[in-house]
Structure 1
Amino acid sequence: MESETVTKRKTSNETNKKTDSLDDEEEIGLKAKMTLINGVTVIVGAYCYAELGTMIKKSGADYAYIMETFGPFLAFIRLWIECMIVRPCSQAIVALTFSVYVLKPFFPDCQPPDDAARILAFCCICTLTFVNCWDVKWATAVQDIFTYAKLLALFVIIAAGLYFLLNELQDPVKNLPRAIAISCTLVTVVYFFTNVAFYTILSPEEVLGSEAVAVTFADRCFGLFAWTIPVFVALSTFGAVNGILLTSSRLFYAGACEGQMPEILTMIQIHRLTPTPAVLIMALLSMLYLMSSNIFALINYVGFATWLSIGAAVLCLPWLRWKQPDLQRPIKVNLLFPIFYLLATLFVVIVPMIASPVETGYGCLMILSSIPVYAVCVAWKNKPKWFNKSLSVMTTILQKLLMVLGKSNKPAQV
């Protein structure tokens, strides 16, 4: 009887192990499929943007497309979403990610202290704000160096994952479409194999429960050299924060050219020739978002607002096909592309509304707050003299304080 019981237990354990193994394989397969689906969606969206970009040749990307298609009101909402929510909120999230990966090796058995992570994220933003205000060449050099670090980290993860996976198996018009195909495919392949590597080494529970997945992966694979991956990830996120600061000034400039942003945000520092006001306002907004106690709420704000505005931009394509069919289109995609992308966008917008209605509601309120701002600052043309004079005085004070000038080389008039 005892031998039969032992045999049954062994059989049961083996069955459970096989079931767990099958579940893990299904999880890996599902994640891999989702990565490929995301890659295909991104490629479709990129081709939609290729048509819009070659048709509407203005600075500002989404903002310019919506301005040309739907007019200044919706364009301002898009500008508000990008400048007040997406860019600074994304910067805060990435800076917090940077701080978590820097601190995690010092706290291997628990989460890093929240206050320490926020202080380090604050220091990260301040450092890169100084770099971007001091010299544009420094900022671009930082971006190049840390981009290489990101790719190196991903290739190291992929190589480790493939090693274990193989062990298991053994037991513009011309160039733009080509660039989209090559770059999007390359990024999709890189992240596909990165996910495969993660789920080959780690169980789904470990991935979901980890504060920093790459750190857990490195601890499992690299032993004494586990510190290398969090270092590379920290470098990557540091570069991402720099990239947001570096590119934001273009959006401010495009909005100010249309009279929808304060002119001072287009000005440059007279000695350093850097867009100091735009960089500073972006840094200050990011620091405000750092005060949020819930990073997942920040992610929901960004995701909802981003996909809503991207959907509006892609909607420009079929709308212009209908309203202005004679516009010159050097690149012309099949209408199934924007339809597919809009459906995917709709799905991504609706899911957060169901899963996180409170955070999504706050995101909606932040978006709707653009309406009174537009009514007062843009649509209201006959402002009182005292109002215009006050704005002019404030602009002049900021110009003197920051030592910035616009294209006219004269104090700005608001």
Structure 2
Amino acid sequence: MTKNSNLMNGTRSSDSDSSSDSGSAIKLKKELGLHNGVAIIVGVIIGSGIFISPKGVLLESGSVGLSLIVWLICGLISLVGAICYAELGTMIVKSGSDYAYIGEAFGHLPAFLYLWVALVVIIPCGNAIGALTFAAYVLEPVFPCDGGPPETAMRLLAALCITILTYVNCKNVKSAALIQDIFTATKIIALVMIIIIGIVFMFKSDRESFQEPFENSTTSPGKFALAFYSGLYSYAGWNYLNFVTEELKDPYKNLPRAIGISIPLVTIIYLLANVAYFAVLTPAAMLASNATAVTFAERTLGVMSWIMPVFVACSTFGGLNGAIFTSARLFFVGAREGHLPGFLATININNFTPTPSLAFGCVMSLVYLTSTDIYALINYASFVETGFIAISICGLLYMRYTHPNAPRPIKVHLVFPIFFLIICAFLLIVPLLDSPKECFMGMIVVASGIPVYILGVCWEKKPKSFLSICDKFSVLTQKIFVSVREELKED
């Protein structure tokens, strides 16, 4: 990782010259329309969370009424955050989301630390858990015994899922977007089915869950915060479209439109789905269930209850596809800025996809499938990720002061970023007081990136032998993936 070596500059092969001569620029293409943007946001947000986490929200909030309020507030918080990111995304039209915004506002080191945490923990762990969840639901009907599916079978199917989706994303942006559209529609159909069944039961049953909706509501700030964590987990992904801004057609219009359509749509669906759950299941029954949607289906669909695990598997599959698609762009932009090895900033000359970055993300995700403690790592990273989102919002306020005349197609009222920062502070301080060990581990993960930055980025006079090895490896990867460096304006 050095700016002086050909590795950082993205060594060109002869293919690049021929491509340039042909008049076809080697760069990421703007192939994503408004409907694709909506599908990415909705598809990434609606994963397995809404089918499982209602139990967590109810457990911590203590009552039906308060849990529904938590779901509504979580949607509003996500919408406020997304609106703030709409200003950042239309002011800084670069892929990479937080990495691009933090770098623009505060410089290379904070941006690199975000990239480092995303690279080593957040993205590969999230992909691994998503793939394992998919495998668990697919194999559940095959291994109906109490012990559940064998661990080896789950890991193999999860690895196959990650590999197939990586291949599709390498092959064609439109194919990956089509998969996202199809599976987003599938998961919405599943939730609409839950909502319709719930409405029917609302008129048939005695509506026990709604008779005293606020009974046993918690008054503990710590439990209230944990309820928000469970709810916000199901909304995670509201900022993922910002990772692919450079591939979005007319981002100044389509980015805010996609946000304005997606977040309210998801919030309404989540609220109605929870009402449907409570129409069929009592709070006690929901707390006794490990998978709310599956228990719901067993109570309402009878012999057809197997449909729900299939829908949950499809939902997780679509969410994983969106995560793989967007996260590869983060690695690509990081390498283009000189913070990762240059071969990750190359693009396949035939498909115009960041194939090396996709392959790298695939390998990292497969590595985490071998770990047995990835859930603890995700807990550490969740604290850190909230911190970096807060830093991005601070960057919005900072750039309002340092660059007041910069073009801002969207300019939100200062109330929105300040409100969102207060929420982030609440979500950071409460876990720091309740679980200092996990938060401390998250800080260690961040701090471990500092020596990597010093050696990999700041140290420019690296040994010639090392640079030679890096250059040869870069050329080798370009030949394997038939890829070249992106053709920039200065080229």
Q: How would you bin the TM-score normalised by the shorter chain?
A: 0.7 to 0.9
Q: Is 1:77 the equivalent of 2:113?
A: yes
Q: Which SS does the other structure have where 1:405 is aligned?
A: strand
| Alpha-carbon distance between aligned partners in 1 of 2:63 and 2:125, rounded to the nearest angstrom | 31
Aligned residue runs from structure 1 range 130-145, under 5 A: 130-145=167-182
Aligned to 2:163: 126
Aligned to 1:146: 183
Aligned to 2:66: 30
Give the counterpart of 2:202 among 165, 169, 172: 165
Q: Is 1:59 the equivalent of 2:95?
A: yes
Flag the 1:274–1:337 CA change in 2: closer, same or farther, 3 A: closer
1:167 deviation in Å? Answer: 3.0
Q: How many equivalent pairs are there?
A: 387
Aligned residue runs from structure 1 range 271-310, under 5 A: 271-294=350-373, 296-310=375-389
Query: Cα RMSD over matched residues?
Result: 2.7
Counterpart amino acid of residue 290 in structure 1: L
Flag the 1:358–1:230 CA change in 2: closer, same or farther, 3 A: same
Q: Is 1:217 the equivalent of 2:254?
A: no
1:148 deviation in Å? Answer: 1.1
Q: Is 1:183 the equivalent of 2:262?
A: yes
Q: Is 1:100 the equivalent of 2:179?
A: no
| Alpha-carbon distance between aligned partners in 2 of 1:95 and 1:352, rounded to the nearest angstrom | 27
| Alpha-carbon distance between aligned partners in 2 of 1:86 and 1:294, rounded to the nearest angstrom | 13
Give yes or no for contact 2:329–2:354 (8 Å, CA) kept in 1: no
Q: Which SS does the other structure have where 1:283 is aligned?
A: helix
Aligned to 1:391: 470
Give the counterpart of 2:417 among 307, 331, 338: 338
Counterpart amino acid of residue 80 in structure 2: V
Counterpart amino acid of residue 368 in structure 2: Y
Q: Which 10-residue stretch deviates more, 175-184 or 238-247? A: 175-184
| Alpha-carbon distance between aligned partners in 1 of 2:405 and 2:457, rounded to the nearest angstrom | 31
Aligned to 1:113: 150
Which is greater in Rg? Answer: 1
Give yes or no for contact 1:104–1:215 (8 Å, CA) kept in 2: no
Unpaired stretches in structure 2, ≥5 consecutive residues: 1-58, 209-250
Counterpart amino acid of residue 137 in structure 2: Y
Flag the 1:331–1:129 CA change in 2: closer, same or farther, 3 A: closer
Q: Is 1:376 the equivalent of 2:412?
A: no
Counterpart amino acid of residue 301 in structure 2: F
Q: Which 4+ runs in 1 deviate beyond 6 A?
A: 169-175
| Alpha-carbon distance between aligned partners in 2 of 1:175 and 1:286, rounded to the nearest angstrom | 31
Flag the 1:182–1:292 CA change in 2: closer, same or farther, 3 A: same
| Alpha-carbon distance between aligned partners in 2 of 1:26 and 1:164, rounded to the nearest angstrom | 23
Counterpart amino acid of residue 247 in structure 1: T
1:133 deviation in Å? Answer: 2.9
Aligned to 1:232: 311
| Alpha-carbon distance between aligned partners in 2 of 1:131 and 1:369, rounded to the nearest angstrom | 33
1:65 deviation in Å? Answer: 1.3
1:130 deviation in Å? Answer: 2.6
Query: Which of the two has greater helix per residue?
Result: 1
| Alpha-carbon distance between aligned partners in 2 of 1:96 and 1:177, rounded to the nearest angstrom | 33
Q: Which 10-residue stretch deviates more, 310-319 or 322-331? A: 322-331
1:98 deviation in Å? Answer: 0.8
Aligned to 1:4: none
Flag the 1:263–1:92 CA change in 2: closer, same or farther, 3 A: same
Counterpart amino acid of residue 57 in structure 1: V
| Alpha-carbon distance between aligned partners in 1 of 2:381 and 2:287, rounded to the nearest angstrom | 21
Q: Which 10-residue stretch deviates more, 122-131 or 349-358? A: 349-358
Give the counterpart of 2:442 among 352, 359, 363: 363
TM-score by length of 2: 0.72
Give yes or no for contact 1:249–1:266 (8 Å, CA) kept in 2: no
